[in-house]
């Protein structure tokens, strides 16, 4: 007599930060609500990006810092679904991995948080010479154009760490800039003094969205992910990721986007939407800025991706290639300088 089939348990994994755990629990709860007879567990681990808190992200290389250890665990079968802030996921995944689900997006905008007790509300209110912290070269590049009298400095760490750095009485920061979605998910929205969005700054690709990565051969996991996917968010984010994939070459670059997707009524109920996507590339010092928009009707996520890739090509043709080449040279020079400095210290 054959043994009864054991019902499969699914393990969701993510980084160990408080925000990553909250986000993983959001996905777990959404799955459990739709699939009450299935068991979902969670697992958390530190990644390379969590362990290296001293160097600027710009110099550390690609976004795989946040995902590589998790993907190794998934490939080994110890976990089944990876929950990511989609903005932190490389646009090219390892062979055998895929983003199978995207849940509804929180606000994609950046936001300003000022030091506890300070009177300022906006970047415009800060005194000349004020130090503003962020870990993003995109934010720095765009905001230098509008606020040349402010000083933008690298501020690494998870949200708890960065908030502590901001509020330290002897700390250098008058304010920091973060993704609004993370502040909202942690219940810290009251600390936000204003949103930062177009035309001041375009947000990061896929900011505010949570993506679920699976093994490409795991049909059961894919079906679970599709059951909670918000297709409007998926189409928007995949268009943005396609744009970045053409532009970036695997490195952290100052690319900003802003996307709207309006669902349209069709005969027979087929999905169709009007996609409006704006993209920008800005030099590190903010001196050069290229921006363009495309609007198109799309009937699938693949068509949305094609529009994103088309936008990237337009940006490249209108000046982005020169900006990106200069950024690559700057990064290589800084990495070499850091190596030489370390060699002198070791000697």
Q: What is the spatial distance between Cα 136 and Cα 285, in angstroms, rounded to a whole number?
A: 13
Cβ–Cβ < 8 Å for 249, 91: no
Residue 129 token pair? 């010479």
Cis peptide before 199 (omega within 30 of 0): yes
Residue 270 token pair? 């087929």
Integer angstrom CA distances of residue 231 from 97, 181, 257: 20, 19, 19
> Which candidate, 223, 230, 177, places its Cα nearest to that of 206?
230
Place of tokens 């709207």: 260
Phi first, then psi, for residue 113 (nearest 5°) are -125, 125
Q: What is the spatial distance between Cα 177 and Cα 318, in angstroms, rounded to a whole number?
A: 29
> Which candidate, 243, 238, 255, 234, places its Cα nearest to that of 294?
243
β 110-114/81-85 pair status: unpaired
Kindly list the catalytic residues: 88
Task: Considering only the C-alpha atoms of the chain, give the largest distance between any 2 of them, rounded to a whole number of Å.
Answer: 80
At residue 62, the 3 state secondary structure works out as: coil
Query: From the CB of residue 92, how many other CB atoms can be counted at a distance below 10 Å?
Result: 12
Half-sphere exposure of 216 (CA within 13 A, CB side): 6
Residue 331 token pair? 């990064």
């Amino acid at each position: 007599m054959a043994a009864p089939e054991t019902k499969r348990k699914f393990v969701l994994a993510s980084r160990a930060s408080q925000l990553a755990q909250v986000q993983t629990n959001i996905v777990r709860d959404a799955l459990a609500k739709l699939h009450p007879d299935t068991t979902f567990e969670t697992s958390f681990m530190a990644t390379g990006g969590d362990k290296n808190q001293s160097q600027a992200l710009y110099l550390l290389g690609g976004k795989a810092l946040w995902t590589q250890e998790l993907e190794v665990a998934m490939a080994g079968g110890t976990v089944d679904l990876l929950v990511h802030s989609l903005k932190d996921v490389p646009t090219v995944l390892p062979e055998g991995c895929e983003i199978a689900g995207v849940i509804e997006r929180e606000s994609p905008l950046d936001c300003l948080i000022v030091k506890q007790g300070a009177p300022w509300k906006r970047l415009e209110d800060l005194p000349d010479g004020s130090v503003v912290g962020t870990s993003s070269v995109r934010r720095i590049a765009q905001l230098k154009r509008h606020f040349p009298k402010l000083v933008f400095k690298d501020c690494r760490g998870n949200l708890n760490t960065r908030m502590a750095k901001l509020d330290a009485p002897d700390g250098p920061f008058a304010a920091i800039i973060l993704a609004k979605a993370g502040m909202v998910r942690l219940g810290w929205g009251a600390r936000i003094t204003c949103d930062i969005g177009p035309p001041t700054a375009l947000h990061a690709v896929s900011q505010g969205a949570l993506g679920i990565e699976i093994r490409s051969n795991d049909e059961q996991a894919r079906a679970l992910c599709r059951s909670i996917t918000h297709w409007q968010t998926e189409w928007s984010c995949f268009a943005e990721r396609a744009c970045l994939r053409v532009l970036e070459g695997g490195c952290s670059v100052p690319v900003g986007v802003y996307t709207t997707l309006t669902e349209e009524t069709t005969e027979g109920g087929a999905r169709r939407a009007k996609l409006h996507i704006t993209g920008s590339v800005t030099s590190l010092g903010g001196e050069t800025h290229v921006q363009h928009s495309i609007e198109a009707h799309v009937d699938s996520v693949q068509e949305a991706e094609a529009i994103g890739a088309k936008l990237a090509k337009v940006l490249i043709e209108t000046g982005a290639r020169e900006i990106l080449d200069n950024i690559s040279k700057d990064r290589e020079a800084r990495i070499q300088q850091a190596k030489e400095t370390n060699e002198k210290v070791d000697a």
